[in-house]
Chain A
Amino acid sequence: MAQIDFNEPRERTEALRRMMLIREFEDAVGDRFADGEIPGFVHLSQGQEGVAVGAVGALTEDDYVTSTHRAHGHSLAKGLDPDRLLAELYGKETGYCDGKGGSMHVASLEVGMLGAQPIVGASVPLGTGAAITAQYTDADWMSLTFLGDGAVAEGQVHEAFNLAATWELPVVFVIENNLYSEGMPFDDQHNIEDLADMAASYGVPGETVDGQDVETVNAAVSQARERALDGEGPTLVEAKTYRYRGHFEGDQEPYRTAEEVDEWRTERDPIDNYVDELLETGVLTEDDVADLERSVESELADAVEFARESETASKDVAFDDVFVEPAPEIAAHRERVARREPNWSVY
């Protein structure tokens, strides 16, 4: 999707619409997962829409994004089609990855989505690698890498920060600090209050922002993007945010109270607060907001129908795309496994 210019009222509405779309998408995923329609594991990001839309709204279609296990919001913000994204979660042939990726591995290079990466921290070297290409080809695009507060404890993240800093690569690292690394509270995982402070140890700028305010996130990432494209290297942006759902769907959440979650939902919701702001500033009317809500509800109803009615991926694709130039082993092993009679019966 295109960059959002928050100085333009119509584009502020677009930012709200994208956040609503992500919320609606994930509500649908949560419900359909509970119904048993969606297999596997899903990790939802309700509450973090302001970070996804604010950060990705600073990018053009040519910029690359790498993401985490909690990637639906980033993917939709980058411009992935909700129909095909949901179909991938259903394991259908119309999904983005032929049903081989699922919720945790969605990628679409045509819109610059370089992939969700559920190995915590793994997306950071990859996003740094995209920035190597950008620098090498003197490109007018850059790379944005999302990581969570948990990933900051992983070794490969620091290797990538250091490589990006010493090579002055055009990459922006956006840490979504949602206060829990799986079930472990932030304070128990880290000995500092603001993860952006770590930027100092790499000699790059770092900034901690309110992740519940889409415009604040956007301003920080836009500035970081300018630096990156000016050849001034990486920036570390920490967005403080909160996830309403558990680490994964089905998580009993023994690590926090329902009151804490309710407080964030009622006081600090990025969508509700932005609706209030756009109403107060006269950008939208109550009717406009109701229209937007109806529109994304209808879009998601269509997506669910599309995903349900799509064909399950053909079993043959299970053996495709391991390599570009195939290895004969795969076909030979398939044949061997498929044989009904013992190999020696021919003798």
Chain B
Amino acid sequence: MSRTQSTNENGTETMSVREAIREGLREEMQADEMVMLYGQDEESGESFEVTDGLYEEFGQRRVRNTPISEAAQVGGAVGAAATGLRPVVEVSFSDFIGVCFDQLMNQAGKTRYMFGGESRVPVVMRATEGGGKSAAAQHSGTVHTLVAHLPGLKVVAPGTPAASKGLIKASIRSDDPVMFFENKTIYNERGPVPTDESYTVPLGEASVERVGEDVTVVATQRLLGEALSVADGLAGEASVEVIDPRTIYPLDTETILESVEKTGALVIADESPMSYGFHAEVMARVVEDGFFTLDAPPQRVGVPDTPIPFAPDLEGEVLPDAPDVERAVKRVL
């Protein structure tokens, strides 16, 4: 794996994360007849309007509504994938995976292994994550650590429009089950996205979004933007390198280790609860393989193990943001 920039100034178009995911879905549906989308209100694209317009373009055979039944949706997708389809199933809010967890953990993740490689499960499960919309505890969670912990599942959580398009396309093309997490607060964030239909972002390849010399910040989803703004704000004072891991599992350890070797300092910013999570995994890998490159104890920025509250003031108290990233950066400088 190598470091890549997630955007290419040649042949790009500025679009939002929402549009980038939609464009990726559209291109893959055009390229492969076996790709179908289904979920609750999928035909109207009502859930954050990501799939808006695809029903009109591809019809009900390929874009279908399901009854509200996440276990049957995910389990059905696994059965369909094992027999030849490439279904993309929407689980709306990631907090809802509780009701389909058996199909996620025991079927999607284990089927290929326990059958001795007999089956392939090319299914993509899309779900939104993240707080910031006063949607309260059961519609605001960030659960990608939970899923990344389960053997047999690949987990994607892009932070830019370009990564969103490239990764949804790679996820659909992957013969492995992929859980694709979309942070709902960055759907409207815009950026350059390659228009070439062959453009994909490989699963397990991080992106160095900003080159720096003094500290490495590994930041996901919404916090990628926060970290970049902190880097801008500290310009002249400190040189901050910002990495979007883009894929949670597999994780591009090499790019992170190379960066820490250069900077000697590490901050991990991710909206997961902080205990036993993504932060800990990144830190463990850097400590295991790059302990002596560290000049300061690594720091984590995340949710202090609480559910996300409803009231905007309380929510703001719990959610990590740019000042939290900045404080962490200053602690390791």
Which residues on the A side are within 8 Å of B74 (C-beta)?
125
Selected from A101, A125, A321, A336, the residue in CB contact (under 8 A) with B75 is A125
| Cβ of A115 under 8 Å from chain B | yes
Q: How far is the CA of A129 from the CA of B67 in the complex (A)?
A: 14
Instruction: Determine how close the nearest CB of chain A comes to the CB of B285; give it in whole angstroms.
Output: 9
Which residues on the A side are within 8 Å of B61 (C-beta)?
136
Which residues on the A side are within 8 Å of B84 (C-beta)?
133, 137
Which residues on the A side are within 8 Å of B128 (C-beta)?
none
Q: How far is the CA of A19 from the CA of B328 in the complex (A)?
A: 69
| Cβ of B5 under 8 Å from chain A | no
Q: How far is the CA of A99 from the CA of B201 in the complex (A)?
A: 35
Q: How far is the CA of A98 from the CA of B112 in the complex (A)?
A: 12
Which residues on the A side are within 8 Å of B1 (C-beta)?
328
B103 contacts A96, CB within 8 Å?
A: no
Q: How far is the CA of A325 from the CA of B111 in the complex (A)?
A: 15
| Cβ of B80 under 8 Å from chain A | yes
Which residues on the A side are within 8 Å of B176 (C-beta)?
323-325
B79 contacts A125, CB within 8 Å?
A: yes
Instruction: Determine how close the nearest CB of chain B comes to the CB of A246; give it in whole angstroms.
Output: 24
Selected from B78, B100, B118, B253, the residue in CB contact (under 8 A) with A97 is B118
| Cβ of A57 under 8 Å from chain B | no
Say which size band chain A's interface belongs to: 35 or more
B118 contacts A108, CB within 8 Å?
A: yes
**A163 and B107 in contact, given A133-B80, A136-B85, A321-B116 (Cβ under 8 angstroms):** no
Instruction: Determine how close the nearest CB of chain B comes to the CB of A124; give it in whole angstroms.
Output: 8
Interfacial residues of chain A within 326-342, with CB under 8 A of chain B in the complex:
327-329, 332, 336
Q: How far is the CA of A134 from the CA of B85 in the complex (A)?
A: 9
A327 contacts B250, CB within 8 Å?
A: yes
**A100 and B112 in contact, given A129-B79, A132-B85 (Cβ under 8 angstroms):** no
Which residues on the B side are within 8 Å of A101 (C-beta)?
114-116
Q: How far is the CA of A8 from the CA of B330 in the complex (A)?
A: 84
**A100 and B116 in contact, given A119-B102, A132-B87 (Cβ under 8 angstroms):** yes
B82 contacts A126, CB within 8 Å?
A: yes
Selected from B67, B80, B111, B175, the residue in CB contact (under 8 A) with A115 is B111
Minimal Cβ-Cβ distance residue in B for A321: B117
The proximity string for B residues 137-164 relative to A, scoring 1 for CB distances below 8 Å and 0 otherwise, is 0000000000000011010000000000
Minimal Cβ-Cβ distance residue in A for B79: A129
Tell me which of B79, B176, B292 has the highest count of chain A C-beta atoms within 10 A of its own C-beta: B79
Which residues on the B side are within 8 Å of A143 (C-beta)?
79
B80 contacts A136, CB within 8 Å?
A: yes
| Cβ of A343 under 8 Å from chain B | yes
Which residues on the A side are within 8 Å of B174 (C-beta)?
324-325
Minimal Cβ-Cβ distance residue in A for B115: A107
**A100 and B113 in contact, given A107-B119, A129-B80, A343-B288 (Cβ under 8 angstroms):** yes
Which residues on the A side are within 8 Å of B119 (C-beta)?
107, 109, 114-115
Instruction: Determine how close the nearest CB of chain B comes to the CB of A315; give it in whole angstroms.
Output: 14
Which residues on the B side are within 8 Å of A162 (C-beta)?
67, 69, 72
Interfacial residues of chain A within 140-189, with CB under 8 A of chain B in the complex:
143, 155-156, 159-160, 162-163, 166-167
A322 contacts B79, CB within 8 Å?
A: no
Interfacial residues of chain B within 72-111, with CB under 8 A of chain A in the complex:
72-85, 87, 100, 102-103, 106-107, 111
Instruction: Determine how close the nearest CB of chain B comes to the CB of A138; give it in whole angstroms.
Output: 10
Instruction: Determine how close the nearest CB of chain A comes to the CB of B103; give it in whole angstroms.
Output: 6
Instruction: Determine how close the nearest CB of chain A comes to the CB of B87; give it in whole angstroms.
Output: 7
Q: How far is the CA of A321 from the CA of B110 in the complex (A)?
A: 10
B115 contacts A163, CB within 8 Å?
A: no
B76 contacts A125, CB within 8 Å?
A: yes
| Cβ of A64 under 8 Å from chain B | yes
The 5 nearest A-B residue pairs measured at CB: A129-B79, A125-B75, A97-B116, A159-B69, A159-B72
Apart from A129-B78, A156-B75, what 13 extra A-B contacts exist at CB < 8 Å?
A98-B117, A109-B119, A114-B79, A115-B119, A125-B74, A125-B76, A126-B76, A126-B78, A160-B72, A317-B116, A322-B152, A327-B250, A344-B291
**Complex A-B: 7 CB contacts under 8 Å:** A99-B116, A115-B115, A129-B80, A134-B83, A156-B75, A159-B72, A347-B292
